[in-house]
Amino acid sequence: MIQATINGTEALEKTSGYHVSPDWPGIDFFFYLPYVLENVKKNDRMIKWTRLVVLKEENKIIGEIGGQGNPDETGEIEIGYSIVPDYQNKGYMSEALMGMVAWLEEQSVIRRIFARSYEQNIASIQVLKHNHFVHIKEKDTEEKQGRVMMWEYPIKRT
pLDDT, tens digit (0-9, with 9 covering 90-100), for 41-91 = 776 665 567 888 999 999 999 999 988 877 889 999 999 999 999 999 999
Calculate mean pLDDT across residues 107-129: 94
* Domain spans, the chain: 2-153
What is the pLDDT at residue 98?
97
Contact between residue 45 and residue 29 where contact means Cβ atoms under 8 Å apart: no
CA dist 57 and 77 (Å) reads 30
- For residue 77, give the nearest of 153, 147, 9, 132 by alpha carbon: 153
Please give the CATH superfamily to which domain 2-153 belongs: Gcn5-related N-acetyltransferase (GNAT) (3.40.630.30)
Q: Give the least confident one: 36-45, 63-72, 89-98, 145-154.
A: 36-45
* Predicted TM-score of the model (pTM): 0.85
